[in-house]
Structure 1
Amino acid sequence: MNANKKPIQSQPVGVIRPTVPDTLISVVIAFAMALIARAYVLEPFVIPTGSMAPTLLGEHYRVVSPHTGSTWAVDGQLGESGPGALVRDPYTTEEMQAAGIRRRSGDRILVLKRTPLSPAIRRYEVAVFRNPSDPNENLIKRIIGLPGEQVALVDGDVFIRKEPGASSADWEDARWRIARKPEREQRTVWVPVFDTAHLPRESVEPQAWPFKPTGDWMLSGTNLIKPNDGAAELEWDTTAWDIRDRLAYNDLDMYRDPRFGPGRAKAWLPPNYPVSDLAITTGYEPATSEDVLTMEIRTRETRFVARVFADKAELWLEPETPEGAPPQLMTQADFVMPLTIGKASLVEFWHADQSLWLFVDDRLVCRANYDWTIRQRLEKSISGTRYETLMPLSRGLNLLSSTEQYTKPEIRISHAGGKAKLHRLRVSRDLYYHPYQTSLSMRAGEPPYGTHPTSTLTLGPGQYFALGDNSPRSADSRVWGQPHPLVSQNFPLTAGPGVVPEELIIGRAFLVYFPSIIRDGTVPVPDLGRIRAIH
């Protein structure tokens, strides 16, 4: 063996260029993988209508106010209003010409398809399914009722009774429980009502300012300043601006009062209902360690109160009934880190689904639930009325659908102690599921499904109850009649009026991957800032 023989070194042979067959094979493999993914894993859809607005948008117009900086979507039907169409700023009620605003397409979403290995759909998840009344059409709604349950829509909220196989829909049964939304879904569905960041730049007009101040409050930009020591309050003026389930997306009728009353009902748009599930948000800047911020929502014969101290927070329930029940401390919690004096901390007080939440700097500090029955809820929401008087159907009319009998909420924000600042004060409202009887939902004189004991459905195995976030404009489980004959024929065990058969569910909507395209300039640009997860 030659000891001097050197090992063979590999020599570079240059760049290997793919051949045409290699490229074709790669394209075919990629195409096949895309087809497999679309068939079994993911599928894109375009939102066709506004039944899930403002969470998901169908064809719409996006308006920007030059005076408040606010931006909002308006239903695509605006284009049918003619050349003189108007839009209205939801924060100031200012009317503007819609000329020049271009129609946008609906959101494009991705759906995680349902397979035998998929986990069961959870309540309040958003699902895509074939329309039980027209299986050629795809719908997207929020799943509210699950198999083996009964669903009651009471004062805008969802109550559930788990009664597999039950036929009785007695709303006085003690087993009814309110179905509370998880935090993630609740954050998604808050609808803005007021925001100091969207006050007019020139001067604050009366219709843009809902609070009656007591004490020394000054407005400086987006901040409210209390320059002196002592007590001061801000109280929502319900005589000028009542909080209802108004939605800028639906605001096409300029004859409707944008601030007060239910608004006139039209065939395509029911009246507005008072909403008592509210969120108050602000950046709270205390001046001393003795300062106390109190946020109060008064409704349903009760005061729901959050008190924020420098080192702790409290949640109170204070009844206003003639019996004079004492205030009840629901819960309290010490802060991990006390509030920093002279620095703003984000404070959020929620009242939603018979639950109180308090967040400080995006961290849940304390939470308390109160569990009223359906009877208690109705008798407190419709003050001075007995449950028995609400149940009879007068010529098929559901007395629970009348808007003006429901309690109108009041808000009070007070501060005691030294000087203080409230940075960007905001008020939002929750979803409100309508019991209103439109011509679409009369069903031979019967109330919409879920809105009265006589119309309460019992969901069997493989049946779901689905509702749209834009409740006034959504055709959903409340109003669906008999399913399409093909659906009844192919799925006889799960098909039925008002329900979504499990076999028609395509999957969960989880991502807006391509929002509508902005065509305001010379070059169309995708609105990538609105890519978002769907909750």
Structure 2
Amino acid sequence: MSDKQSPSKEKSLCSTFEWLLIALALAFTYRAFLLEAYKIPTGSMAPTLRGDRFAVACQSCGEKFDYGFIPERYRRGANREGFYQLDPGTICPNCGTTSRPVASKINGDRILVFKGSYYFHDPDRWDVFVFKNPTEPHLNYIKRLVGLPGEKIEIIDGDIYINDKITRKPAKVQNELWMPVFDSRLTEVVAYSQNREPVSPMMNSEGSNWRYIENGRSFSLDETEGKKHELYYNYKQGRDLRAFYSYNRYDMINVAPFFSDMMLEAYVAFPDQSGEFEAVLSKYGTEYTASLDVSGTMTVSAKEPSGKRNVIAEKTIKPLDTDRPVRFCFENLDHVLRFSFGPETLEYDFGREAHAMGEPGRLRPQIKVAGSGRLRVENLRIMRDIYYYGTGFDDETLRAGEGRPYTLGEDEFFACGDNSPASSDSRYWDAPGIGNNAKTYPAGVVPRDYLIGKAFFVYWPGSFKYNLNPKFSKLGKFAILPNVSEMKFIYGGVDDAEIEAEE
């Protein structure tokens, strides 16, 4: 009987083996041409994508942030609980406090890359893409694509200019690239434990009388005489208004330029349904003011260094119910002033030409809010835009820096890391790219031949390891659960409608 079943068993084994071969072939095909997982090793794309890093919580304000792990600096390794003593140059992105905390290490983000993407369409600007490093083709790099074939690229005051016009990022990309400067909800938690007055960088100008409430997290004004009271951002009390990255060492702040593209957001309530509130952001010495008269007027004006003030945009709105907080937002971004209050928006576009808003200078920006009447301001946040460095730490102009534009040839792309001061990319590569059969590529470009695919999802962003005090986290070094809240899609590129709108 067993002899009669042998052919059937052999046939079954052959069939199983055949299916295994097919499955393996499909898996290899899938990995080679469609989808592949990658681990981010370094912080050149932080904060969008993070490499091996430390999870830090500021001892002063409680802000949670990442600090890059560089193996050469930590040869001694972690202690028995899995924590490292960090560099003395760690700086909080919210309050500017420098410290040398103890923190646990998190492995780099793990992402999915669609390798078939560029078989079907050309890469788009702002894509986060994987490619072979032109100078070391055995290494894969990941950066943001900022320049396309045939374009002239120039970096001026942190912004990307293509063919002498500023480029504007798609909304979803921009949302990823706003970086914190100040958040009133994180005003010095140390003050609470010591029962003392919190110290906020938003300070009263002389003669003004804003009051701190809720331990400095909110501000209130009770003014019945129509006088305007002002709060200004004191960089000496908070963090400096420079385009530094807390992911990097503190000593980089000394050479970081001042940023000029920023956003101020707050939630404002007018209990009496009357009063005024305004925000002031300066750029190159000119103060731009977004003013709200809650009775029904939104205004954007410009005050030149000479003191002359001009109204450049105005809009009448229907009065809103303002006894509860309403979102107020004013941003100066890529040559556009955008003022929002609740559902209403007012914009002024200076155009895309270089220097449309003046000549860049080494001027620290000014940030203020002011109001009159009875009002309350909550959840005040200041954010800055990503800043692409066009000069090195020795003040040398980099490739495509201001005054040194770079024109791409056919099938050539320009790549920059989001962590601009700590990214090896097209601005820095000084050796020709290495191709097959003794072929070379111009220094600084990513050739089409070396494109691998478009990154689109962070599926494993790291584990829960943020700790104010390591003794409360005995499981710190064994944390293996991913931080699900940080799983996300990676946005990039523009659609045809956005390209046409730009042109």
TM exceeding 0.5: yes
In structure 1, give the amino acid aligned to 2:458. Answer: V
Q: Distance in 1 between matches of 2:15 and 2:277?
A: 70
Please name the residue that 1:422 is paired with. 377
Bigger mean CA offset, 204-213 vs 342-351: 204-213
CA distance in 1, matches of 2:340, 2:20: 51
1:351-366 aligned at under 5 Å gives the runs 351-361=332-342, 365-366=345-346
| Larger deviation, residues 232-241 vs 132-141 | 232-241
Structure 1 residue corresponding to 2:289, chosen from 274, 281, 305: 305
Match status 1:407 vs 2:378: no
Partner of 1:380: 359
Instruction: Please state how far the C-alpha of 1:145 moved relative to its aligned partner.
Output: 1.2
Q: Does 1:98 align with 2:101?
A: yes
8 Å contact from structure 2 (residues 167, 352) kept in 1: no
* Secondary structure of residue in 1 paired with 2:132: strand
Q: Residue 130 of structure 2 contacts residue 143 of structure 2 at CA under 8 Å; is this kept in 1? A: yes
CA–CA separation in structure 2 for the residues paired with 1:250 and 1:34: 39
CA distance in 1, matches of 2:289, 2:410: 42
Deviation digits for residues 224-262 of structure 1, max 9, x if unmatched?
122343432111225655311122111354xx7xxxxx5
Could you say what secondary structure the match of 1:55 adopts?
coil
Describe the SS at the equivalent of 1:497: coil
Shift of residue 331, structure 1, vs aligned partner: 5.2
Task: Return 273-282 or 496-505, whichever deviates more.
Answer: 496-505
Gaps of 5+ in 1: 1-18, 162-175, 257-261, 264-270, 383-405
Structure 2 match to 1:399: none
Match of 1:123 among 111, 122, 125: 125
- Correspondent of 2:429 among 467, 473, 480: 480
Q: Equivalent residues in 2 for 1:77-476 (5 A)?
A: 77=70, 80=73, 85=86, 86=88, 87-99=90-102, 101-115=103-117, 117-161=119-163, 176-203=164-191, 209-214=200-205, 215-221=208-214, 222-229=217-224, 230=226, 231-238=228-235, 242-253=240-251, 263=254, 271-310=255-294, 314-322=298-306, 327-330=310-313, 332=315, 334=317, 338-361=319-342, 365-371=345-351, 373-374=353-354, 380-382=359-361, 406-417=362-373, 419-438=374-393, 447-453=397-403, 455-476=404-425
Q: Does 1:502 align with 2:458?
A: no
Does the residue aligned with 2:265 lie in a helix, a strand or coil? strand
Aligned residue for 1:249, secondary structure, equals coil
What secondary structure, in the 3-state scheme, does the structure 2 residue paired with 1:517 have? coil
1:14 is matched with none
Q: Which runs of 5+ in 2 are unaligned?
A: 1-11, 77-83, 466-475, 492-503
Task: Please give the TM-score of this superposition, normalised by the length of structure 1.
Answer: 0.76
Give the aligned length: 450
Partners of 1:360 and 1:24 in 2: how far apart?
66
Q: Is the 8 A contact 1:124 1:142 kept in 2?
A: yes
| 123-132 vs 225-234, greater mean Cα deviation | 225-234
Kindly tell me: are residues 333 and 472 of structure 1, through their superposed partners in 2, closer, same or farther at Cα, counting changes over 3 Å?
farther
Q: In the alignment, what sits opposite 1:49?
A: 42
Go from structure 1 to structure 2 and tell me whether the alpha carbon gap of 1:232 and 1:497 turns closer, same or farther (over 3 Å shift): same
Asked if the contact 1:211/1:236 (under 8 Å) is kept, the reply is yes
Query: CA offsets, 1:339-388, max 9 Å, x none?
Result: 32211122221111111123445x572332112643565x6322xxxxxx
Cα distance change on mapping 1:344 and 1:433 into 2, 3 Å: same
Deviation at 1:186, TM superposition (A): 1.3
Identical amino acids, percent of aligned pairs: 26
TM-score (norm 2): 0.80
Q: Secondary structure at the match of 2:454?
A: strand
Q: Is the Cα contact below 8 Å between 2:39 and 2:111 reproduced in 1? A: yes
Find the aligned partners of 1:55 and 1:98 in 2 and give their Cα distance. 23
Q: CA deviation at 1:132?
A: 1.1
CA separation in 2, counterparts of 1:488 and 1:319? 61
Residue type matched to 2:37 in 1?
Answer: P
- Equivalent residue number for residue 513 of structure 1: 459
Query: Which deviates more from structure 2 when the two are superposed, residues 277-286 or residues 62-71?
Result: 62-71
